[in-house]
Chains A and B, each alone.
Chain A
Amino acid sequence: MKIPSPAGWAESSGRTVSWWLLGPGLLWMGLLFFVPLCLVVVISFAGRGTYGGIVWSFSLTNYLDLLHPLYARILGQSILMAAGTTLLCLIMGFPLAYYIARAAPGRQRIWLLLVMIPFWTNFLVRTYAWMFILRTEGLLNTLLLKLGLIAAPIELLYSNTAVVIGLVYGYLPFMVLPLYVALERMDRTLVEAAWDLYATRWAVFWRIILPLTRPGVIAGCLLVFIPSLGAFLTPDLLGGARSMMIGNLIQHEFLVARDWPLGAAISCVLMLCVVGMMSWSLRTAKPLSQREHES
């Protein structure tokens, strides 16, 4: 006699149902993500036409071109900026997420809403707003001058500092949300137990809270790091296009230099870097119990 249960229902028609569930997403991702991705990979091995077309001949020229130290510098600087952004987001996001997770449930909803409110406005518009804040006669300088904290306006706009400010501002919510989820689900009794056993504040944080929320930390870092690595709008507007991040280089190759194959090759290298970092961090993100089994 079979007992009808939700699990049994799923099992009996398992295959069909799962295909229906997967279908729309798979079709969407397949047609609009996977196929273009393959095109990018294929184009990265092709040649460049004088007027921006693609010459269909297989060669490794584009990848060899990328060995030029110039491109390594651009990639290196981009990774540095993205890493700095991620670190700042983590330092600011963790206490914020901790505070929200410990607030009363009603308060939590309000705080989360506040974290997400910036998304209601277009990122470009918000970046323009930062230009008004940071420029020489901007809000920030006016305020600091009025308060007598500085004697002369500081030149903030059109510098790497401004780019990092803009990136941290833009991606902080992506750090806070996964951290909040991890901290909210954390078993508080373990923290209480640590206190009872006379652990110091530091020990509680390092040995209890941080390991328990590691998956959230890693998810947040990836969600901040990856988009900041590919950013091109912020370096152009807040950095005054005085230097290039890898995203600017890709945009430049596709749109200005009319060199799609080289642009595609840079995109492939960037994707490989990201995939490499992701697989590494996913391995470290495994819950402690699983890793112990492995070792």
Chain B
Amino acid sequence: MRSKGIGLSLCLLVFLFCGTVACQRTTGDAEQKTLHYFTWSDYVGPELLAEFERRHGVRIVVDTFSSNEELLAKLQGGATGYDVAVPSDFMAAIMIQQGLVADLDPAMLPNAATLEDHLQRLPFDPTHRYAIPYLWGTVGIGYDSAVVSTPPDSWAVLWDPRYRGKISMLNDQREVFGAVLRLMGASMNTKDRVLIEEAKTRLLAQKPLVKAYASEHYDQLLASGDVVLAHGWGGPVARAMLDRPSIRYVVPKEGGTLWADCLVVLKSSPRKELATQFINYLLDPHVAARTSERLLFASANKAARPFVPARILDNPAIYPPIDLLPRLEWMTDVGDALRIYDRAWTELKMH
């Protein structure tokens, strides 16, 4: 009996010891110069990070997530050690409300002074106390102009039986419902059960035409010709254009989502000063222009425009035309109404 107890407590001791050593290492001086960047997969230019590492003598560790909800779930699950994260607008709002985000020092962010006009006052953070927009864009329809000969101007084209089996929708309940709600003339942030139910009915009618609900590889579907109409974010559609030049992008006349991924410093970050410097670096006009060129998303810094190549600047999938702005809507969190969307989405999938 005695030896059993000793054996177990030895194991526990070893375990605890390892734990404390690991903790000390993360808080010790040796790790002071490491920055942990938590961002979307495929959302970094390695050479741009390397440049920051050289300039500041730090090491950047990149960790990635594939959805806003995953980011929130990880932070709520107690993940610490991240310094800078890149939530989208509505998720930044939730993170601010949940107290996960640190205050920013405007004096350390001179590059944030020249943001695009419409990104100057974010509805959820009007004074940029917590979040600085990084990249922005729209959700619309990518289509193959060689097949869809009349350029579509309405979400209704996604219900056109001529394109049965050649349509892909985002695998994202809020975006899919958002598109239908706009088509119905409603706000994509409605909490009205009746409207959501009607949207569901329309989506059920559309389902036989839909080849796949895909949020990740619809650029490949478009490029390979597997679909000719894809509901999606502009960036991936722009990537599909590189492979198949007949691909075009349109934001329907009923309007759609305006989104901006924001840079925030996490409250739990032990290196807030370095983190703020990093945010300022990412917004530097030259760095931002190179980011746009590489990732095919528009930079939030207006001062970057002169350095962005014309083919990027003139591509509506990447840089939305400014006259489009009045038709666009920020997606906001719907709180408990999310359950209604949720059930409707599950019903759509199981139909």
CB within 8 Å of B: which residues of A? 15-16, 19-20, 23-24, 27, 31, 50-53, 70, 73-74, 77, 131, 135-137, 155, 157-158, 236-237, 240-244, 248-249, 252, 254-259
Contacts and interface: CB of A to CB of B under 8 A. Distances in A.
Nearest to B172: A256
5 contacts: A51-B72, A53-B76, A244-B346, A255-B70, A255-B73
A160 to B, nearest CB: 12
Contacts of A131: 217
Contacts, number: 96
Given A52-B73, A242-B210, A15 B346 contact: no
A3 B32 CA distance: 62
A240 B11 contact: no
A254 B74 CA distance: 11
Contact of B73 (A19, A31, A243, A254): A254
B17 to A, nearest CB: 14
B350 A137 contact: no
Interface of B: 3-4, 7-8, 11-12, 15, 67, 69-70, 72-73, 76, 94, 97-98, 165, 168, 171, 173, 207, 210-214, 217, 224-226, 333, 335-336, 338-339, 342-343, 345-347, 349-350
B296 to A, nearest CB: 21
Contacts of A31: 15
B224 A259 contact: no
B312 to A, nearest CB: 28
B8 A19 contact: yes
A252 B210 CA distance: 20
Contacts of A77: 350
Contacts of A74: 346, 350
B11 A24 contact: yes
Contacts of A53: 76
Contacts of B171: 236, 241
A258 B345 CA distance: 14
Nearest to B210: A242
Contacts of B94: 51
A52 B72 contact: yes
A158 B226 CA distance: 11
B346 A252 contact: yes
Contacts of B212: 157-158, 240-242
A136 B226 contact: yes
A258 B350 contact: no
Contacts of A243: 349-350
A137 B339 contact: no
A155 B208 CA distance: 14
Nearest to A241: B213
Contact of B4 (A16, A157, A158): A16
A60 B168 CA distance: 38
Contact of A51 (B67, B70, B98, B349): B98
B11 A256 contact: no
A155 B212 CA distance: 12
Contact of B338 (A23, A244, A258): A258
B4 A240 contact: no
Nearest to A77: B350
A180 to B, nearest CB: 36
Given A16-B7, A19-B8, A51-B97, A135 B213 contact: no
B346 A256 contact: no
A19 B213 CA distance: 51
Contacts of B333: 51
B36 to A, nearest CB: 21
Nearest to B1: A15
B310 to A, nearest CB: 33
Contacts of B70: 255
Question: 6 smallest A-B Cβ distances: which pairs?
Answer: A240-B212, A241-B213, A257-B342, A244-B349, A241-B171, A158-B212
B11 A135 contact: no
Nearest to A254: B73
A256 B69 CA distance: 6
